[in-house]
Chain A
Amino acid sequence: MRTDKKVIRKPKQLLTMKNLLTLTIIIAVYLMIAALVEFHILNRQFTNLIVPIGANIILAVSLNLVTGFLGELSLGHAGFMAIGAFTSAIFTLNVNMPGNPEFFLAIIIGGSVAALFGFLIGVPVLRLRGDYLAIVTLGFGEIIRSIINAISLPAGLDKAGKLIVKKGTMGLSGITTYSNYTWVYIAVIITIIACANLVKSRHGRVICSIRDNYIAAESIGIHVSRFKIMAFVFAAFFAGVAGALYGHNYSNIKATDFGYDKSIDILVFVVLGGMGNIKGSVIAAIILTVLPELLRSAQDYRMLMYAVLLIAMMIFNSSELKTRMQESDKLSRITRLFKLSK
Chain B
Amino acid sequence: MALLEIKNLGISFGGLRAVDDVNMKIEKGQLYGLIGPNGAGKTTLFNLLTGVYQPTDGTILLDGINIVGKSTAQISVAGIGRTFQNIRLFKKMTVLDNVKVALHNKVKYSLLEGILRLPSYFEKEKVMDEEARNILKVFDLDGEENYYASNLPYGKQRKLEIARALATNPKLLLLDEPAAGMNPNETAELMDTIRLVRDKYDITILLIEHDMKLVAGICEQILVLNFGTELANGTPEEVLNNPAVITAYLGE
Contact = CB atoms under 8 A, between A and B. Distances in A.
Interface in B52-89: 52, 71-73, 76-77, 81-82, 84, 88-89
Interface in B112-134: 114-117, 119, 121-122, 124-125, 128
Nearest to A198: B115
Interface stretch (B8-16, B25-33, B101-109, B236-244): B101-109
Contact of B108 (A202, A208, A223): A202
Interface string A181-223: 0000000000000100110011111101101110111111111
Question: Which of A194, A211, A218 counts the most B-chain CB atoms under 10 A from its CB?
Answer: A218
Interface string B145-189: 000000000000000000011011000000000000000000000
B128 A218 contact: no
B213 interface: no
B73 A223 contact: yes
A219 B88 CA distance: 10
A201 B168 contact: no
B216 interface: no
Contacts of B117: 13-14, 197
A216 B149 CA distance: 14
Given A218-B76, A224-B73, A212 B92 contact: yes
B91 interface: yes
A230 interface: yes
Nearest to B78: A221
Interface residues of A, number: 29
A197 B114 contact: yes
Contact of A201 (B91, B102, B121): B121
Contact of B82 (A194, A217, A219, A222): A219
Interface residues of B, number: 41
Nearest to B114: A201
A276 B93 CA distance: 12
B73 A216 contact: no
Question: Which of A206, A219, A221, A224 counts the most B-chain CB atoms under 10 A from its CB?
Answer: A219
B227 interface: no
Interface of A: 10, 13-14, 194, 197-198, 201-206, 208-209, 211-213, 215-224, 230, 276
13 contacts: A197-B115, A198-B111, A201-B109, A208-B90, A208-B93, A213-B90, A216-B84, A216-B164, A218-B73, A218-B76, A219-B81, A220-B104, A221-B77
